[in-house]
Structure 1
């Protein structure tokens, strides 16, 4: 058995199965990553430079898109390097750093989406009091919470993972995660798994309740509202609902490829399940908000007209 001190590198064996398709995958991932950076930067730039968009909703949107860039950057560059390299080894330190940023991305994404849902609830249900409730200080506090809270939770989780004694060095994925390390652990993992489950509960359950409460109130208001008000509410909430659906699809794919035996599944499908959560939301979120939110769409059209 290998000791913790002996297991200093891990083999990401999924890359060995790509063979001659490596260069095709490199081209695809490169184009996706470049698109993520460009379209997120465009929307962030539009919101930051246009003072008429300096409203709570758009401030939360900027943080969502910044987090999407973090998510894409935490994975895509390393994939590109490994696709062009003959080696698929990653050091334990880099593995933990990768885990840290991947989990920061996933946790922040969910919390920011919950905050956006809360913001939409206030704007639709309490339009006359919205500005007094969602004042700049509260907006700042919500944004700070969206980053600091996941940062503290994920730091604890990754610290625990760094102390695990390992008996192997093979990770059957294209990146590191807690579940993969748990599978090659020597020591009893019960207390760490229990604690990680508790942390996941703390991250997810309050946000789920916030989302359910917010949309329950929105639906209640819409039922008794005029058709025009219902259309406005639907237009306001549609980008958020699509983004939420995309996020949960990614979570489901993540659970499937982590918790179930995927040895009989083609490597292409397995890889899609692995990276969907970390690539597709950062790719689609700016497009969803850019196309669905009238103010941003008008700014993009004006920008293109000038060009």
Structure 2
């Protein structure tokens, strides 16, 4: 599974980086998302493999805190990235003529830097001082999609079709990640002993396995620019 995650995410990162036609805000945010999938998977699999291959089934306190830090920062970067992508789609659908003036290259860089810095600084403070800070990325996600729905219902059929095609992959990614978070919350809050062990294992791994594999495959198949670039690269290698 780790090999699949590394391969699909790295492949799409390379595709986006080498193709200048993909150097647009949406694809830069996708690149940040794929980098986070690689980062998040490192929070589970190295420790898991170490325990499977050795007879040691305990984790030291420093490694435990490091793993917790990786998992929580991965989740927060994911939500922040999805929130910024929601705002990006909101601008693209609701203000298409002014999109490039609102979402400039400098703003894209600032957004990506803030996504990562905010997530790491926030959880560093939380981990050190046990502070509870507001989980604000949900607000721009809801706001952006309320505005997009408003435009869809008031616009033409062509506008609705364009909005659906540009937002569907992001919504699918958001729902998939939300399901993973929900499974984690359910397992931490309720007694799951009555649930079959294989299902418990699947739900435990869902958070850090399904999202990193699901995102690159979905975006790679549904976004025509990425899929065409992948085909060109494969044909060139052959």
Say whether the 8 Å CA contact 1:99–1:158 is kept in structure 2.
no
- 1:216 offset after TM fit, Å? 1.0
Are 1:209 and 2:166 counterparts? Answer: no
* CA displacement 1:32-77 (0-9 Å, x = unmatched): 1100000001110000000011011111110000001001111112
Are 1:35 and 2:4 counterparts? Answer: yes
Matching residue of 2:180? 250
Matching residue of 1:47? 16
Say whether the 8 Å CA contact 1:238–1:292 is kept in structure 2.
no
How far, CA to CA, are the matches of 1:250 and 1:230 in structure 2?
A: 29
Instruction: Choose 1 or 2 for highest CA Rg.
Output: 1
Number of residue pairs the alignment of both structures matches: 237
Q: Deviation above 6 Å: which 4+ runs of structure 1?
A: none
* CA displacement 1:73-113 (0-9 Å, x = unmatched): 11112112211222211110011111111111000000000
Pairwise CA RMSD:
1.2
* CA displacement 1:123-149 (0-9 Å, x = unmatched): 111111111111122111111110011
Are 1:285 and 2:215 counterparts? Answer: yes
Unaligned runs of 5+ residues in structure 1 are 1-31, 161-191
Unaligned runs of 5+ residues in structure 2 are none
Q: 1:109 aligns with which of 74, 78, 102?
A: 78
What is the TM-score when the length of structure 1 is the normalising length? 0.75
How far, CA to CA, are the matches of 2:144 and 2:194 in structure 1?
A: 41
**1 or 2, which has the higher helix percentage?**
2
Are 1:304 and 2:229 counterparts? Answer: no
What is the TM-score when the length of structure 2 is the normalising length? 0.96
Q: Equivalences for 1:254-273 in 2 at 5 Å?
A: 254-273=184-203
